Structure 1
Amino acid sequence: MSKKVFITGGSRGIGRGIALRLAKAGYDVAFTYHLEQNEAETLKTEILNLGQNCFYYQASLQDASIPEQITKKAIEDLGGIDVLVCNAGKTKFTSIRTIDLETIDFVYGLNYRSYVMSTKIAANYMIENQIPGRIIHISSTRGIRAYRDDAIYGSLKAALNRLIQSLAIELAEYNITINSIAPGATSTRGNYSLEELQSGHISSLIPLKRKGKPDDVAGLVEFLISDDASYITGETIKVDGGLILYGPNERPNGGQF
């Protein structure tokens, strides 16, 4: 019987890469999308062609009641859940001089609260059904290294990294692990050719001299949910090609990302 994964923000970019990687590994997949139904339909077709079941849902996860509702629906449609991947998010750069309540509420609701509430539903199901589940939160290196005009988004990603530490302690007695992955500069469009990944100013600032691709993150997700990673919990792992290892004077030409 196939294992089952629910991915928030699964129709494009990193989420899409994770969905395809886990479908190839034999998982049935449910995922949310925000606006582009055609992207969701295309992904579903690809997953079905891999021989796995697939469900998708339009969801505005920044709305307070939606994450719990949609996670319950995904578990119902899948017939259970073994893995939750909270990936939905949107970067919004803001200055403290112009920040407004609407932006704060949106960034908080989507990038933090939705992760907490989806995790609540999935964890309760896993506990009640004695499932040794795996939970992954997709964070960001912006939660580790500070950048200008990034106070709200970056601090909420930092909060996710701290959140999973407490949850790891709480969920360990149920044999459920939870970890955070912090991508750096990642290309979420295009064909992910080496030439494309190596192009642009940002690539020149990365020690490995290329931007990441969704499958770089998806490969780590696949490992963290495997039996080989059953003793890893409460960790935040960077996938950034060494981007934030540099100090400001070590970057080529003193550049900043």
Structure 2
Amino acid sequence: MLLQNQVAVVTGATRGIGRAIAITLANNGASLIINGTNKDRLQKLMLEIEETGQKCLMITGDVADPKTAEEVVETAINYFYKMDILVNNAGINMRSSTLEMDLEDWNKVLDINLNGSLYFCKTALPYMIKNRYGKIVNVSSTAAKTAHKNAAPSYGASKAGVDYLTRHLAIEMSEYNINVNGVNPGPVETDMSSQWTDEYRQQVLSKIPLQKLGTPQNVADTVLFLTSEMSDFITGETINVNGGTYMN
């Protein structure tokens, strides 16, 4: 129970990596406030978390709207009287070349992936500063560190922005005992990857030194490490969870 008596917020929690993170934090003793845009999936996850014996509240809303962050954080403070952990997981990807991409799509990806992370950090940090404690984990992507043809330029640019935001906040918040880190997943088995053709799956696997796709649980375990006291001397880092496809 690495997170006993901790209160955690997880955005984009309805499926895949976000869902795995929320359940993993709950299994380790954290109370949760989960956020997403699909009410039915959120409610199902909330009930599953409550079965672990942990308290859980759900807030439906788009992270691209600053009011969502305000509602989520205010709920955490009003109900639990504190907020120890923030996991910015909500994100979208689009697959188009630069010339094919609409500017509307560019803005939408940045609004959710980058701006949404900023909104939640700005809203949560005053409470963490007051308590002189906090753990923030921004879920990014290896696309932030190396270009991928199968991702729109907006995705890589937004995640590179998230990585810089992580490092910048780590510097600003260090004096308040707040750790800010990131996780950069590579190829992970999700709903999206289940739609790949066998040929494309083999192409992806051939580029992974460990010769297998990651799982949402692999990412969730890394987030657990970064939100626990085991990572107390780590801040400003972005950890690759990608089977060796990108190393730095």
TM norm. shorter chain > 0.5: yes
Q: How many equivalent pairs are there?
A: 237
Q: Point out where structure 1 has 5 or more consecutive residues left out of the alignment.
A: 246-257
Please name the residue that 1:168 is paired with. Answer: 170
Matched AA of 2:213: K
Secondary structure of the 1:181 match is: strand
Please name the residue that 1:134 is paired with. Answer: 135
User: Is the contact made by 2:166 and 2:182 (CA closer than 8 Å) also made in structure 1?
Assistant: yes
User: Is the contact made by 1:30 and 1:78 (CA closer than 8 Å) also made in structure 2?
Assistant: no
User: Is the contact made by 2:63 and 2:69 (CA closer than 8 Å) also made in structure 1?
Assistant: yes
Rounded to whole Å, the distance in 1 between the matches of 2:72 and 2:96 is 29
1:86-97 equivalences under 5 Å are 86-97=88-99
Please name the residue that 2:115 is paired with. Answer: 113
Q: Point out where structure 2 has 5 or more consecutive residues left out of the alignment.
A: none
Rounded to whole Å, the distance in 2 between the matches of 1:185 and 1:136 is 19
Matched AA of 2:143: R
TM-score (norm: length of structure 2): 0.89
Rounded to whole Å, the distance in 1 between the matches of 2:154 and 2:73 is 26
Rounded to whole Å, the distance in 1 between the matches of 2:159 and 2:220 is 19
| CA shift in 2, pair 1:44/1:65, >3 Å | closer
Can you list the C-alpha shifts for 1:206-241, whole angstroms capped at 9, x where unaligned? 111111111101111111122121010000110000
User: Is the contact made by 1:14 and 1:217 (CA closer than 8 Å) also made in structure 2?
Assistant: yes
Identity %: 35
Can you list the C-alpha shifts for 1:162-216, whole angstroms capped at 9, x where unaligned? 11111111100000000010000111249x9xxx9xx644223211111111110
2:33 pairs with one of 5, 30, 39: 30
Rounded to whole Å, the distance in 1 between the matches of 2:86 and 2:78 is 14
**1:146 matched to 2:147:** yes
Please name the residue that 1:254 is paired with. Answer: none
User: Is the contact made by 2:33 and 2:72 (CA closer than 8 Å) also made in structure 1?
Assistant: no
Matched AA of 1:237: I
User: Is the contact made by 1:207 and 1:242 (CA closer than 8 Å) also made in structure 2?
Assistant: yes
RMSD, aligned α-carbons:
2.0
Deviates more, 1:18-27 or 1:120-129: 120-129
Matched AA of 1:51: G
Rounded to whole Å, the distance in 2 between the matches of 1:76 and 1:213 is 34
Can you list the C-alpha shifts for 1:111-137, whole angstroms capped at 9, x where unaligned? 00010110111111111233x110000
TM-score (norm: length of structure 1): 0.86
Deviates more, 1:62-71 or 1:136-145: 62-71
**1:51 matched to 2:53:** yes
User: Is the contact made by 1:47 and 1:54 (CA closer than 8 Å) also made in structure 2?
Assistant: yes
Secondary structure of the 1:9 match is: coil
1:5 pairs with one of 4, 8, 12: 8
Secondary structure of the 2:176 match is: coil
1:157: Cα distance to partner?
0.4
Detail structure 1 runs of 4+ shifted over 6 Å in the superposition: none
2:225 pairs with one of 218, 223, 226: 223
1:64: Cα distance to partner?
4.3
Deviates more, 1:178-187 or 1:64-73: 64-73
